[in-house]
Structure 1
């Protein structure tokens, strides 16, 4: 591929992964609250998530390899293939290619989530929080307008693209689970003071819809979250849930009993009779379903997801459908130390509970039903792939009490400090403890602690063959700080080695080797904002290693010229580094950099300061 075309494809791939997909994912989560109709959600999803994902996949088809090693994605793929095969015995369709669109867009959800988690994991928590805030504000407005026009027996539908109280309740419940998870996982009182009232507002929205299915689903989600965390908050949550259930029974007894079983038993009995006609292969993906329970019109859904799968694609289709959910919960239990996995699996449990008495379509375009199954499953699959590729911190963040911290740092030697106290300490066993001050909860550092970034970056760089410190533990401290404990690399900083070099030729040799190393970082997409000669070690075993890894990002493609220039300008701020690299030994630096890039690129980037 010509160099210019390769650079263009790399920039397009980066732009899609870093900017387009996060925007599309945010709108997928919250656009129903403000769009005037659901068809606009479809267009937004296609234009900002599905089609960009397809373009990214065409640019780098090798990204499918990691997906094809993920059991959840394989099950989804088999399910979609079988659904399309079932068109052979479905009623005739107007446009066969049009029937391929829903499965294709669904598969792009899984591919896009994998790319998003792989390259922008740092924005996933802020995205979910922003979507939840949109849902919170919209729900407050919906509750207010509903209260003004309330009449006994009325059920709130919600604004935006919502057109059905039951379907609205699924999305409201989805965000109840989010705020519940945030209440259980947050460590800051300010966040807790926001999340608990927000959860109450979203739960009030669920109650206002008059739907009973989400109450069962939320009960299951609460039980799952308590099972995943199993701490004091879990006990408080269970007590609160029982108290709340009793309050709902006392205050809204009509909600549970006034509509009886809403014809569910009659519907299921009729659908089971239809299923018995073709139990193994179903009636076909595009088959019609008309259920008559003598209410004056036909129902086109079995009001149970499992029965819907059996009706359309039979037992053969039910097997991968059940497997993907069971495997998702199993892997979530294994990865329960990762907060986002707990959130995604809680969403899935909520969806399983809601699907007991609602839904039935096999594959659909983006709508409320996606919040019950496909969005949670896609996130779980993406997190599993990222964990396998070591893009998530492998260590559990432990809470370190003040007494334990004092014992750990007893007789430790302070390596680096600031006006607030020690920043890096060498412990008695030779390991290092690096402290990160607490950041404001709404900042990037509040959502993604720098200690976790340090550990995650270390793992990812190791996968690229770049030597970094070995992570031992992650800690959360009582004052809101976090810390990472690691085994330091054996060596001296490059700045020190240049200072003690015996001759200009020896310095030139080191600078040339550093030029090769810096080019390797840039070609691997490593943008180290704080790159300078004191953050690069000359290892005793040969070669170089990186330290101070929190302020680092790994891009999907080799760095573009502007980022490389920015990296170089940072080094030029240091007088000694600037003198050695960009004056005395500039030719040696260019020579080394050109070994992995080109002479023209090295000449254009590396200029005297």
Structure 2
């Protein structure tokens, strides 16, 4: 009993970390610099809500290391970090060794935590990104208004919160500008397009107000990359918009941009290359201070180029895996360009690579603005790769279905189910099914995770877990903004029908025994089907399967005793099911459940049944 309680407690803690702490930690990593006046708050929140919980989750479930360490992006980062740590042997760093080692460990936890979040709470990622982008937008608007009302002496916007440098602020504005740009390119909802376009315009003004040219170059290259990924009508409009934006920027802000000259970039790079040439193969060592004495009378500690920073610290030996990280990240985005999340992550990475051409230098740091340029996009790409490889990422991508194509698809279809608004399930001419999901309100959970997508993703994950599920043929968004899932239905009849038609009591007992075993398998695999009753369970060639799998959650661990009990209460609402399962054949239900479930779960099930029979 003691070991069972420990295991149950560990499962609940792992679920809490994966489902709640990590989303909160990622949100504050993305938005803390806008919300709090001190940047140290971002560090503390990241450590407390993301890095340390991720480490704890990996300790609780070491098996999560396996898919993580099979990902090439993670392997390349580990190699890069190992070279950097080894270089501490000849580094002249002023900081303690333990402090320098913690930094790559925290970045590794970013990769690992992002993987846990994407694998176990993927549906939380889109609203989380939107919330962070809105915080960045509305958190900076007061500073923008004040900038125009009371222009600073240097004519450069910094922003609010913990932002203290216009160039670093521009990196964050550019990061979220890319988010709004990708949303403009991928959304089909006109209202979302309008809001995204307005937000993109505001973020563009913020970037221009910082007086920084680096994000302008980076956004241009990222937009070209995005257009190459999409290759549709909007991509052509985007390229045309780039030309117009470039002309407008030169006309309106040309003097401000040109009068700042080269900002000594060429002189800085020349001095950095001279120092790199002293130790080109191994570098000067991770954390070695860099001092560049410019002709302007001040010194700099960064070469204003990420690649030069890598070369200075770890030489050509460390540059190779670092370039491999960037190259494989872009390749992942290109290979999976049909998926909007891959499009977003790889476009953010392209933005970061382009920004790193004229900015930065520290190869690994505590959480700060530079993380937005490389580590956050790379961690997201790695997590998406792992989710795709392990079957946690939907294989089907939603496609727009034109009215004429929809009419052809539904020609000669037979209505299986309908409501006051029209058909809900259609049997098409070829025997496949089309299930329609209407959008009733604008801003709901279905806006981020449509029910058609849930149906397809749940079917895919059920198969991954070893259950029988419908084969998905397509996902569609219709002209009226409703969604549909096209699937091959499973042949057979419901368990309720089978019990009604059973020739004897013994046959009903055998069916109840099988259902008890199947119910336990669902619960032990973390499958919580809210609408579970005997009319939603199908007998398919001797195997049991679920119908209408959109209304389902698949948790990382076996269901808690409370969720199991809630599942039972739903089934007890149906009088016929209640009579068969919880009265006439309760012994067979408990026997089948005990074949797969733990003793405490069986005991709780038995107590629940007895309490409801009393």
TM norm structure 2: 0.97
Structure 1: 4+ residue segments shifted above 4 A: none
Q: Kindly indicate whether the alpha-carbon contact (under 8 Å) linking 1:441 and 1:447 is maintained by their aligned counterparts in 2.
A: no
Q: In structure 1, what is the equivalent of residue 227 of structure 2?
A: 226
Deviation at 1:425, TM superposition (A): 1.0
Write out per-residue CA displacement over residues 461-480 of structure 1, whole angstroms, 9 at most, x where no aligned residue: 11110000011111111110
Q: Kindly indicate whether the alpha-carbon contact (under 8 Å) linking 1:491 and 1:537 is maintained by their aligned counterparts in 2.
A: yes
C-alpha separation in 2, matches of 1:261 and 1:92? 30
Q: Kindly indicate whether the alpha-carbon contact (under 8 Å) linking 1:525 and 1:559 is maintained by their aligned counterparts in 2.
A: yes
| CA separation of 1:583 and 1:311: change in aligned 2, threshold 3 A | same
Q: Kindly indicate whether the alpha-carbon contact (under 8 Å) linking 2:409 and 2:428 is maintained by their aligned counterparts in 1.
A: yes
Q: In structure 1, what is the equivalent of residue 432 of structure 2?
A: 431
Deviation at 1:450, TM superposition (A): 1.1
1:41 is paired with a residue whose SS is helix
Q: In structure 1, what is the equivalent of residue 176 of structure 2?
A: 175
Deviation at 1:153, TM superposition (A): 4.1
Q: In structure 2, what is the equivalent of residue 584 of structure 1?
A: 584
2:534 is paired with a residue whose SS is coil
C-alpha separation in 2, matches of 1:10 and 1:465? 21
Q: In structure 2, what is the equivalent of residue 300 of structure 1?
A: 301
Matches within 5 A, 1:317-328: 317-328=318-329
C-alpha separation in 1, matches of 2:124 and 2:356? 30
Q: In structure 2, what is the equivalent of residue 387 of structure 1?
A: 388
Deviation at 1:253, TM superposition (A): 0.9
Q: Does 1:549 align with 2:549?
A: yes
C-alpha separation in 2, matches of 1:583 and 1:571? 13
- Over the aligned positions, Cα root-mean-square deviation in angstroms equals 1.2
1:534 is paired with a residue whose SS is helix
Which is worse superposed, 285-294 or 107-116?
A: 285-294
C-alpha separation in 2, matches of 1:39 and 1:152? 28
Deviation at 1:459, TM superposition (A): 1.1
TM norm structure 1: 0.98
Q: In structure 2, what is the equivalent of residue 604 of structure 1?
A: 604
Q: In structure 1, what is the equivalent of residue 574 of structure 2?
A: 574
The answer for unaligned runs of 5 or more in structure 2 is: none
2:292 is paired with a residue whose SS is coil
Deviation at 1:331, TM superposition (A): 1.1
C-alpha separation in 2, matches of 1:381 and 1:337? 17
Q: In structure 1, what is the equivalent of residue 65 of structure 2?
A: 64
The answer for unaligned runs of 5 or more in structure 1 is: none
C-alpha separation in 2, matches of 1:81 and 1:154? 43
Q: In structure 1, what is the equivalent of residue 332 of structure 2?
A: 331
Matches within 5 A, 1:184-333: 184-333=185-334
Deviation at 1:246, TM superposition (A): 0.7
| CA separation of 1:327 and 1:439: change in aligned 2, threshold 3 A | farther
C-alpha separation in 1, matches of 2:132 and 2:280? 41
C-alpha separation in 2, matches of 1:385 and 1:495? 39
Matches within 5 A, 1:529-540: 529-540=530-541
Q: In structure 1, what is the equivalent of residue 56 of structure 2?
A: 55
Write out per-residue CA displacement over residues 394-428 of structure 1, whole angstroms, 9 at most, x where no aligned residue: 12222111111111111111111111111111111
2:293 is paired with a residue whose SS is coil
Which is worse superposed, 251-260 or 555-564?
A: 251-260
Write out per-residue CA displacement over residues 86-129 of structure 1, whole angstroms, 9 at most, x where no aligned residue: 00010165532222110110100000000000010001000000
Aligned residues: 608
Deviation at 1:294, TM superposition (A): 2.0
Q: Kindly indicate whether the alpha-carbon contact (under 8 Å) linking 2:68 and 2:74 is maintained by their aligned counterparts in 1.
A: yes
C-alpha separation in 2, matches of 1:315 and 1:416? 65
Q: Kindly indicate whether the alpha-carbon contact (under 8 Å) linking 1:590 and 1:599 is maintained by their aligned counterparts in 2.
A: no
Q: In structure 1, what is the equivalent of residue 118 of structure 2?
A: 117
Q: Kindly indicate whether the alpha-carbon contact (under 8 Å) linking 1:212 and 1:255 is maintained by their aligned counterparts in 2.
A: no
2:169 is paired with a residue whose SS is helix
C-alpha separation in 1, matches of 2:172 and 2:463? 40
Q: In structure 1, what is the equivalent of residue 513 of structure 2?
A: 512
1:440 is paired with a residue whose SS is coil
Q: Kindly indicate whether the alpha-carbon contact (under 8 Å) linking 1:139 and 1:202 is maintained by their aligned counterparts in 2.
A: no
Q: Kindly indicate whether the alpha-carbon contact (under 8 Å) linking 2:304 and 2:358 is maintained by their aligned counterparts in 1.
A: yes
